[in-house]
Structure 1
Amino acid sequence: MRVAILRRTPQVSFSMDVYADGLISGLKAVRPTWEIVEFAPASYPADKKNSVWLVGLWKYYERYWRYPRMIEKQNADIFHIIDHSDGHLARWLKRKAQPKIVTCHDLINLFQPENIYSRTPLPFVSMAAWKFAIRGMEKADRIISVSAHTAKDVVNNLKIVKENITVVPDAIESIFRILPKTVVEPFRQQNGVSPETLCLLNVGSNHPRKNVFTILKVMKALKEQGLPVYFWKTGADFTPEQKIFIQTHDLQNFVAYLGKPDKEKLVQIYNAADVLIAPSLYEGFGMTILEAMACGTPVITSNVTSLPEVAGNAAILVEPLDVQAMVKAVCCLLEDSIYRQSLIEAGLARVKPFTWENTAEQIATVYETMLKER
């Protein structure tokens, strides 16, 4: 079988690169005789220097015209579009008899349009293009959703029936694991965290939906109680407003930004932290929850959208805007070592099935079923 994986422009979306790489490696492991071919839009030439507007126009041309026309000419038994933001490709492939599949990770921009409006010079054009793309999923033969919650959003907001959706969860890489204390303890010391301190961690972007401001309010409340706590942020830096909050409430000695680490460093950070705190307002899946669990780090997360589905019974679930509930959860982990250890063990058990081989096996079965139905 020849499977065409249609992926995003390289290095445009870290999470989509992880998904594509993980799926491809998994498919090669579970179906070694298959031919897996990859296609992606071209990156803007690094040696060309033009205005933001010209670069933007070139990217639209590449993504919505040249690349789709090139894909239309390819031959494969299955076409798998791995990002809903490229759902418009299903329109171009509709004349082909071969099955067309789109993975939908979330529809966040429908519910929180500021995700687009706040980071593009042409927000209304960008939103129109995104909506055009996701509505292209209606032309696909099958939707793979990374969570039941995202599948529900698809049914409620697009002309797609639930019978045409298969839920296949994301997975994490085997690099996320428990490290020896001889590696972890020096890292904590180098970053100013004593053995007695409970270190909170948040990983990822700093979009409003990530709710980082609430974590800072939790830190303020814990500091006022005189508790030994510290907060690490990785991924996107604190916003100017958040930095003002940190200074205003004298949190400079209790908070640190650790930059954008590579995977090896991120594994160290997960291991060195005592708690992952992820009070997102909306997630299509929740990868950082599983990464933390695999590293033996307890999790406090939101009780909304896909997060309870991913966390199962292996995390503390709270209302995402309830500061006192989060303070109580942190205090519980600080004071009750037996409960904390039980969460660690539950997390390690929870994360075991989330491998790329398992994800690829489920997706390969979808491919095979669709071909049999032709």
Structure 2
Amino acid sequence: MRRTVSTGPIAFDATLWDEPTTGIGLYTRCLASALEARGVRLEKLGARTSGELPRGDAGRTTWTLGRLPRVLQRLGMPLYHAHGNFNLPLTRVPGTAYVLTVHDLIPLLMRETVSTAFRWQFRLWLARSVAQADRVVCVSERTRQDLLARLPEAESRTVVVPNGVDHVHVPELDATSVDFLRALSLPKDYVLYAGSLDVRKNVDLVLDALERLRSRGRPASLVLAGQSWFGSGRVEARVARMRSEGHDVRSLGYQSDAVFYELMRRAAVFVFPSRYEGFGLPPLEAMHLGTPTIVSNAGSLPEVCGDAALAVRPDDAEGLAQAIDRLLKSPEERRALAEKGRVQAAKFTWKRTAEGTLAAYEAALHR
């Protein structure tokens, strides 16, 4: 009998389920919810403490390489879906098809943004995982092309299934969050950057633009909402220096979803001049909330944002300064861009992501 998704539960990689939220962790949880809403049964494997088979104190690598193959063999599941770019078991489990989601190839494309050890792990394990996978799901055509440039033999097994953005909503704020936002005393028209502060995200370009605007008598207030990451120390030192010079830069660090999305919704302009993205969820989240958005023209951002966001080159500080100034001066243009952003963001739903993922499951099972 031909196997289908309906013949049994799917073994679902949950190794980032209980960890601090990252893009891959968000993808894992949103995809799981969308699949379960369509009646797909998932066995969530390898979370730290939750799911059907938590890994406990074991690290994610130790779990995947050492314990997961035995778990899959014992459970007899028809399919295992790994979400972390390269984290399939090194060996095949008879009777279990493999699906792998690749979000980006940043450790290979931008070597300076990760440690040497992680880059080598990524390179070797990615090649092995792609060779093992029956289907490789890429979250954008940009990621698919980057993958095939290195592993062209995977072309017939690789499909594009974009992320959704309709997980975004602004929940009612509790008293603590209300007090926190009030204490910030944010100006009416502030600029927001949301994301980690690593080199790849190109926060320096935003700071360059602010310095240019202030030198022209057009100072802008900037809010940074995101966690420190590999290589972020230099940006943090520069922010401290600029604050000492009188720039209004508020570095808030990681925030709860409620505060994060409220900051995004209230911003006059959202800026995201990343040097490379495999998908680029933060600008799409801002567009979903109706916040006028400026992005770079690098990586997948043109593919995801279309003409619904202003775009500048990732090395064009003058272009970014002009774009910020233009939007801050024009409420009418902000409203028009906000409406275009909502229309563009509405194309990306987790229901569609689930449908594309199910098609990849069926293709993997029947390969």
Corresponding residue for residue 41 of structure 2:
35
Corresponding residue for residue 49 of structure 1:
none
Which sections of structure 1, spanning at least 5 residues, go unmatched? 47-54, 118-122
Deviation at 1:45?
6.2
Choose from 296, 300, 303 the match for 1:306: 300
Corresponding position: 1:165 with 2:162: no
Corresponding residue for residue 3 of structure 2:
none
User: Could you give the per-residue CA deviations for residues 259-298 of structure 1, whole angstroms, max 9, x where no partner exists?
Assistant: 2111111111101211111111111100001110111111
Deviation at 1:222?
1.1
Corresponding position: 1:77 with 2:68: no
The answer to whether the 8 A contact 1:214-1:321 is kept is yes
State the one-letter code of the partner of 1:16. I
Corresponding residue for residue 50 of structure 1:
none
Corresponding residue for residue 345 of structure 1:
339
Query: Aligned partners of 2:209, 2:323: CA distance in 1, in Å?
Result: 10
The count of corresponding residues between Structure 1 and Structure 2 is: 347
Deviation at 1:357?
1.4
Report the secondary structure of 1:5's partner residue: strand
Choose from 15, 19, 37 the match for 1:8: 15
Go from structure 1 to structure 2 and tell me whether the alpha carbon gap of 1:338 and 1:140 turns closer, same or farther (over 3 Å shift): same
Corresponding position: 1:192 with 2:185: yes
Counterparts of residues 1-374 of structure 1 (less than 5 Å): 1=6, 2-9=9-16, 10-11=18-19, 14-30=22-38, 32=39, 34-40=40-46, 42=48, 60-87=61-88, 89=89, 91-92=90-91, 94-117=92-115, 123-124=116-117, 126-135=118-127, 136-176=129-169, 190-195=183-188, 198-237=189-228, 239-249=232-242, 250-371=244-365, 373-374=366-367
User: TM-score, normalised on structure 1?
Assistant: 0.84
The answer to whether the 8 A contact 2:284-2:305 is kept is yes
Corresponding residue for residue 52 of structure 1:
none
Report the secondary structure of 1:256's partner residue: strand
The answer to whether the 8 A contact 2:168-2:285 is kept is no
Query: Aligned partners of 1:320, 1:265: CA distance in 2, in Å?
Result: 28
Query: What is the CA RMSD across the aligned residues, in angstroms?
Result: 2.7
Which sections of structure 2, spanning at least 5 residues, go unmatched? 1-5, 50-54
Report the secondary structure of 2:86's partner residue: helix
The answer to whether the 8 A contact 1:84-1:134 is kept is yes
Report the secondary structure of 1:300's partner residue: strand
State the one-letter code of the partner of 1:8. T
State the one-letter code of the partner of 1:259. G
Query: Aligned partners of 2:260, 2:151: CA distance in 1, in Å?
Result: 37
Query: Aligned partners of 1:146, 1:251: CA distance in 2, in Å?
Result: 42
User: TM-score, normalised on structure 2?
Assistant: 0.86
Report the secondary structure of 1:144's partner residue: strand
The answer to whether the 8 A contact 2:98-2:364 is kept is no
State the one-letter code of the partner of 2:196. S
